Amino acid sequence: MNLQDGRPVFMSGETQHTGAMAAERRAEPRERVDRYFSVEFIVEGMEVIYQFRIWDLSAQGMCVLVKKDSELLSQLKVGQTWDMKYSLDDASKPADYLTTRICHITKDASGRFKDHYLVGLSILGAPPLT
């Protein structure tokens, strides 16, 4: 830890944090996902409900893991929006239904999730009423 203007400075990777509030430098806002445990959605024509645990990985943000040989990968495209059901970590509370955009689909070839793709999710808000 170093000091800058009397405040502590913490270094993590390429990011410098001071005791003051740092401005958000991500291209997209980061979701607060600690309240959500899982997400589920239906792909038209596949007759399957997909349910995934939500991961909040620092570099990729909120994402789900999809096996590299899953049929689902051929249905997902970056930029698509889906209406998804988000289950809370407290099962006694009702789920949230939120429109969500696919941000990225990234293969994790050698890391912790070898043989999986990380599918980044960005919550846009409540789906339109029909």
Tens of pLDDT, residue by residue over 106-121, are 988 777 788 899 999 9
The pLDDT value recorded for residue 29 is: 47
Q: What is the pLDDT of residues 11-66, one digit of tens each?
A: 433 334 444 444 434 444 444 556 788 999 998 888 889 999 999 876 667 899 99
CATH topology of domain 31-125: Thrombin, subunit H (2.40.10)
The ranges assigned to domains in the chain are 31-125
The distance from CA 23 to its chain's CA centroid, rounded to whole angstroms, is 20
Q: What is the pLDDT of residue 66?
A: 94
| Residue 43: count of CB within 10 angstroms of its CB | 15
**Residue 112: its pLDDT value, please?**
79
Contact 121, 103 (CB under 8 A): yes
More confident residue, 33 or 8: 33
pLDDT of 64: 94
In terms of Cβ atoms closer than 10 Å to its own Cβ (0-12, 13-18, 19+), residue 23 is exposed
Residue 75: its pLDDT value, please?
92
Can you spell out the DSSP letters for 29-96?
Answer: PPP--TTEEEEEEE-TTT--EEEEE-EEETTTEEEEEEETT-GGGGT--TT-EEEEEEEESSTTSPPE
Give the pLDDT confidence score for residue 98 in this predicted structure. 93
Q: Residue 28's pLDDT is what?
A: 46
Residue reference for tokens 């997209």:
28
Q: What is d(CA 63, CA 55) in angstroms, rounded to the nearest whole number?
A: 5
